[in-house]
A and B are shown apart, each in its own frame.
Chain A
Amino acid sequence: MDTTAMHIANGIVNGPVSAIFAVFAVVALAFCVRQARADLDDRLAPMAGLVAAFIFAVQMLNFQVLPGVSGHLLGGTLAVILVGPWVGALCVSTVLIVQCLLFADGGLTALGLNITNMALLGTAAGYVLVVALLRLLPKTPAGLGTTALIASIISVVVASQGFVLEYALGGTTELSLPWISGTMAGVHVLIGIGEGVIAATTVATVARVRPDLVYALRRFRKPVNVEVGAAA
């Protein structure tokens, strides 16, 4: 077995459950496309392409979290902050599809599972947290960075528990679910911290250079357009 595989492989979750999640993923992504159209203008569309390409690059960078254990960014929270929830989910999905079809990473049968966990669950959790945190924290590069850090950690743990749910429904070996859940949550807290640092650095940098390109600074706030409009 090679160690470059980073997502759920074929055979870990059985066929019927994988198929159900594949259908779920297709329906959810179709809904995301519908919602995303309202956000996608001439400026956000190329930005979303860049976010997808950036997430692909950073997903190659596995960092050590424990001896013998590594992790990589999933990207949901980062995408939500830069391009919004709907486009963000599509960005992460694009990366997962390219990785599966071209780089043989993440089983073809398991694609629906991987999209559900990382692109849908991870992004949804990131979205809820980013909206909540930006009500409390200042809309400055530092506030945005802190938001990215906290939201990333929780979003990664939520995504890891998506796998536990799928395994509970269609796991192919007899293993204790609480043990799987605990182990996944434990390592993914550490991975989430790493992801959080990367996401925080990235969004704080973009917020400093081009605050007008940060979706979270334009949309996730109470409608006091004048303030941010003037600052940008």
Chain B
Amino acid sequence: MSKRLGWFLAGGLLVALLLAGVVSSFASGSPDGLDYTAREGCTFNADGEITGGTCMAQQEGDHQLADSPLADYGIKGIDNEYLSTGLSGVLGVLITFAIGGGVFWLVRRRGQSAATATDTDQGR
């Protein structure tokens, strides 16, 4: 990997870390488009529990991993919301980069440039 690419990757990763670590705390807390559609037709009480009507969200089940330490983009045991959301975001970015980058690196085509690659592809 070239040095220039390394700098680009570091810069991009820094932007992602800032977005997930800092900006994420200021994201909208409203239900997203899908969730909104799923809740239409039902009435809710102050705790967000369904009190009547018919809607898709009625059949919604709990997540099998709802007790995981990072569930719902927070870190279990950290009460400060900004810290909890931000740290979970930072971990998420690093984990995604490690898993994604790792898997893509393992399955990549060996060899240097894209130009030589086309030739080898045609050979097989």
Q: Which residues of A contact B (CB under 8 A)?
A: 1-12, 33, 36-38, 40-54, 56-58, 60-65, 68-72, 87, 90-91, 94-95, 98-105, 107-109, 160, 163, 167, 171-175, 180, 183-184, 187-188, 190-191, 209-210, 213, 218
Contacts and interface: CB of A to CB of B under 8 A. Distances in A.
Interface string B96-124: 11111111110111011110010001000
8 contacts: A2-B72, A12-B38, A43-B1, A45-B104, A49-B100, A60-B92, A65-B33, A68-B31
Given A38-B117, A46-B1, A63-B27, 13 more contacts: A1-B57, A10-B62, A10-B63, A11-B61, A36-B104, A40-B107, A40-B109, A41-B112, A47-B9, A50-B9, A53-B93, A57-B15, A57-B89
Given A4-B72, A6-B32, A12-B56, A45 B65 contact: no
Contact of A57 (B17, B37, B62, B85): B17
B70 interface: yes
Given A12-B60, A56-B20, A108 B35 contact: no
Interface in B41-77: 41, 48-50, 54-66, 68, 70-73
B108 to A, nearest CB: 4
Given A61-B23, A104-B63, A175 B8 contact: no
Contact of B30 (A3, A45, A58, A104): A3
Q: What is the size category of the interface that chain B forms with chain A?
A: 35 or more
Contacts of B30: 3, 62, 64, 68-70
A56 B92 contact: yes
A54 B100 CA distance: 11
A183 B35 CA distance: 11
Given A53-B13, A70-B30, A87 B104 contact: yes
A2 B54 contact: no
A154 to B, nearest CB: 15
A62 B19 CA distance: 12
Contacts of B48: 1-3
Contacts of A57: 15-17, 19-20, 24, 89, 92-93
A50 B15 CA distance: 10
Given A8-B34, A36-B107, A50 B56 contact: no
A37 B19 CA distance: 30
B19 A60 contact: yes
A103 B15 CA distance: 21
Contacts of A101: 65, 68
Contacts of B100: 48-49, 51-53, 90-91, 94-95
A58 B19 contact: yes
7 nearest interchain CB pairs? Answer: A49-B101, A52-B100, A11-B61, A53-B97, A104-B71, A57-B20, A70-B28
Contact of B56 (A40, A48, A95, A167): A167
